[in-house]
Amino acid sequence: MEATLTVVLPVFGLLAVGWAVVRFGILDERGARGVAQLVLHVLIPALLFRSLATERGLGPMELKVAASFFLGCLTLYGAAMLVGRRVFASGLDGQAFMGMSATFGNTVQMGIPLVALAYGPRGEAPLLAIITFHSLVLISLTTVLIEIGQNRGKGPLDTLRQSVVALLTHPIILAILAGILFGLTGLPLPTMADRFLALLGVGAGPMALLSLGAALNGMHIAGDLKESLAVTAMKLVALPLLVWLAADRVFGLPPLETAVATVAAAMPTGANVFILARRYDLYLRRAASMVLISTIGSVVTISVILTLLPVP
């Protein structure tokens, strides 16, 4: 347990510091948004591009990690949509929102620093395999379903085109694609560029946690609390269990890869859920509730998973 707390407490400590600097006026909301933009558009893309550019494509093991993660994700996504329809009488757009909320985790802002602390450099490749497809799969799927559900009068080709444009202009997606393409060339990064990106990447983890903590100031528990709690339980309990079953029982992954995939699945609901909700003016209060409740609850669930899945 002491080893687990050594990993978990610094991560949530940085979240608390980020929350406190805004709560007590050290940094105002405009400054907090500026920090978040710096993290999103510069620091995290630099880290991801450098990591992927030095790889030579995803190997068989990394592809198995991604497959196990998304087998669990898409299974739960469908189950959450069914719950939304049968229990909460949601339309297709609401069902898609529930599916994304139950599966889209904070794999970048929280996942990268936490996995680095827990598993060191060995955990980087399995996590990057998940991050590579995470937004591409879940954001695009949800966007298409919401567009269809809201009946905006656009055909499927228009909907798909808009989804692709939105994804290809996202800084993290661009960094991932650029890093993969550069890695496939087999060329080494120039030394100056490598050192420059490394310096930017060093600050990515801590600054991402601080910015996430700062963003929590603007989120409150509101809306349908039963729905928020149900989705949070799916995200923090059901998804890690499904991903562990897929990784350990279906794909037979080694302990490290199984642990990284399960921890990635245990990340709280990502802020992109709230961003997408704001874009479509859909379930804004519930989105904020899910992000806030799952972030608080993940202190317990992540600690339990790290304790149950130790990696020598």
Q: What is the pTM of this model?
A: 0.84
pLDDT score of 204: 84
217/19 Cα distance (integer angstroms):
6
What pLDDT, in 10s, does the model give residues 123-148?
Answer: 988 998 998 889 878 987 888 788 77
User: Across residues 52-75, what is the average pLDDT?
Assistant: 88
pLDDT (tens digit per residue) in 231-283:
999 999 999 999 999 999 999 999 999 999 999 999 999 877 877 777 777 77
Tokens of 172: 């993290």
H or E element at residue 309: none
Q: In the CATH hierarchy, which fold is given to the domain comprising 2-308?
A: Na+/H+ antiporter like fold (1.20.1530)
Domain map (residue ranges) of the chain: 2-308
Confidence at 207, pLDDT banded by 50, 70, 90: confident
Contact call for residues 240 and 262 (beta carbons, < 8 A):
yes
How long a stretch of residues is the chain?
312
Alpha-helical (H) ranges within the chain are 2-23, 29-38, 44-53, 60-86, 92-103, 111-119, 124-149, 156-168, 171-185, 191-202, 204-215, 225-233, 239-244, 255-265, 271-280, 284-308
For the four alpha carbons of 107, 113, 119 and 120, in that order, the dihedral sign comes to positive
Predicted local distance difference test score (pLDDT) of residue 57: 61
Q: Which helix (H) or strand (E) holds 1?
A: none
* Per-residue pLDDT, 266: 95
Token pair in block for residue 272: 């992109």
Q: How confident is the model at residue 14 (pLDDT cuts 50, 70, 90)?
A: confident
pLDDT score for 149 = 78
* Bridge partner residues of 269 (DSSP): 105
